[in-house]
Amino acid sequence: MTITPETLNGLNNDLSSVVGETEVIREDNGYHAFCGLVCVGWLYQKMKDSFFLILGTHTCAHLLQNALGVMIFAKPRYGVAMIEEADLSAAQIDITDIVKNIIDEHHPSVIFLLNSCTPEIMKVDFETMAKNLNLQFNNTPVLPVRADGLEYTMTQADDNVLQSLLQFCPEAPAGKKEIVFLGAVNDVNAGELQRECEKLGLPVAGFVPSNTFKELPAIGPDTIIAPLQPFVAGAARLFNRKRGAKVLESVFPIGPDGTRIFLEDLAREFGKEVDLSEREAECWKNIEAKVQHIRGKRIFITGDNMLELPVSRFLKAAGAEVLETGTPYVNKRFHARELKLLAGQRIVEMPNMSRQINDIRALKPDLVITNFWQANPHEAEGQATKWSTEFLFTPIFGFSGAGDLANLFSRALKRHRKLDLMDWKEFLPNN
């Protein structure tokens, strides 16, 4: 049998769809993403009185210590209840003692119990397990969260964690029209978003997740849910369904352009027409020293965490040419506004990694925005890169975050240009 590209069924595919004027190509197999468990890396830091318990295996433990590069000095507020060989044939998996020890040692306000691929395949009855634990430990809620890599990438499991929090948000009475921001952002970004709202006279009830389990904001039928990240669609939908809260349909507050649209749309929810174009222009001016390195550059985003759509939209606004925007998953409804602004752009869902590598070799972009592991091999081929996973660890939201966002790309480009002056070609791999 001869192998031709045509026989690669399922790889070059026909799963594309069109949203408005924006085509989203869907590829399959051979994509790369971290699994849902990785969201623990930032969420345990965000929620300071939480514990994240993963029902998993040795592989899950190894993933967590490697993927996020956190070497543990002392016991962190996350760990793996490790399924060993004997447990595979056990009548049922019992983690009561492990949960008891966690409560005794860490005194968390809440335990998030995350499943993983192995218990999923073993068909462990996860919900019942959590229910039984809640009966035994009634002072510490144990919240089941689906995070297995069979279904969820890292940021999608973040969404599942947020969904589990709703039941602990107090009920806001009807008529109390306040904003609840949805998404784990750091204190600096959160503070700025709150300040911008105050300046516009928009009342803010709080953030989900909050820094501690005890300070979750009240949510009711007149709450305005303002999603901050593209991956919190499930939580937004749930808050709407269960409490009748209204979900803001806008772009995400990333970049000067996105932040302006986001705030203007938010104000409109309160019947206020505001024009923040001057504020946006001022922000662009403030970050011009960084943006000038991005302008006119050809950029390829391979995709790993779903923040790609707003980042791509920002890069386009900054004057870059984005050759491809890869992303693990597109939610056509939740991302509709971003997609509209990306009309005409090449967007690929679940991109095939091998195809992307070949395309990058052919296109030779000025910058490849890619995951942790692909960056160095691309650099070895002479390609400037930037880690996309950094979007998750950098305060890129709001007007104040725009500089940090631009800096991610301008620094990489500037550094490359400077090193290129060294004439080091013979010292480098593949010279």
Triad 99, 164, 69: Cα angle to 5°: 65
Residue from 354, 415, 424, 425 in contact with other proteins (CB under 8 A): 354
Tokens 């993403």 map to which residue? 33
**Which residues inside 214-243 make contact with other proteins, applying CB under 8 A?**
none
d(CA 207, CA 46): 11
179 binds other proteins (CB under 8 A): no
Q: For other proteins, which is the closer residue by CB, 242 or 425?
A: 425
Give me the helices (H) in 137-254, please: 154-165, 187-199, 233-243
- For the chain, what's the residue count? 431
d(CA 206, CA 216): 7
From 31-39, 250-258, 289-297, 334-342, give the range in contact with other proteins by CB under 8 A: 31-39
d(CA 127, CA 144): 6
95 binds other proteins (CB under 8 A): yes
Q: For other proteins, which is the closer residue by CB, 256 or 398?
A: 398
Per DSSP bridges, beta strands 22-26 and 17-19 are antiparallel
**Which residues inside 180-209 make contact with other proteins, applying CB under 8 A?**
186
Nearest distance in Å: CB 364, other proteins: 17
357 binds other proteins (CB under 8 A): yes
Nearest distance in Å: CB 272, other proteins: 34
Nearest distance in Å: CB 78, other proteins: 8
DSSP classification of residue 170: P
Nearest distance in Å: CB 192, other proteins: 17
Residue from 140, 374, 383, 410 in contact with other proteins (CB under 8 A): 374
d(CA 411, CA 290): 8
404 binds other proteins (CB under 8 A): no
From 150-158, 175-183, 242-250, 409-417, give the range in contact with other proteins by CB under 8 A: 150-158
| C-alpha pair distances (Å), 44 with each of 112, 153, 184, 210 | 10, 17, 10, 11
Q: For other proteins, which is the closer residue by CB, 32 or 290?
A: 32
Q: For other proteins, which is the closer residue by CB, 116 or 259?
A: 116
Residue from 15, 16, 17, 29 in contact with other proteins (CB under 8 A): 29
Asked whether the beta carbons of 328 and 304 are under 8 A apart, the reply is: yes
103 binds other proteins (CB under 8 A): no
Residue 62 has a CB neighbour count (10 Å cut-off) of 11
136 binds other proteins (CB under 8 A): no
Buried b / exposed e along 21-52 (16+ C-beta atoms within 10 A): ebbbbbbeeebbbbbbbbbbbbbbbbbeebbb
37 binds other proteins (CB under 8 A): yes
Residue from 25, 124, 129, 148 in contact with other proteins (CB under 8 A): 148
